[in-house]
Amino acid sequence: DRIIQRGHYTEMKAAGLTRTIVGVVEACHSLGVMHRDLKPENFLFVDQREDSLLKTIDFGLSMFFKPGDKFTDVVGSP
């Protein structure tokens, strides 16, 4: 919620958040997991500190995959 509430970030802060989010996607994919519902609401800060860890939540639509698998379904939640 803090990501949405804040609205605007400096370029440096936005780059840091983006780096973290891409790292999460990379880690999931390396384990064969596709989240399939990435959106700001599914990333939460652990606490109110400015340097708080960012956690990924809501893996309800996620699925396991193997390299070479092809997917055509459009998924996600509003």
What are the catalytic residues? 37
23-62 in b/e form (b: 16+ CB < 10 A) is ebeeebeeeeebbbbbeeebbbeeeeeeeeebebeeeeee
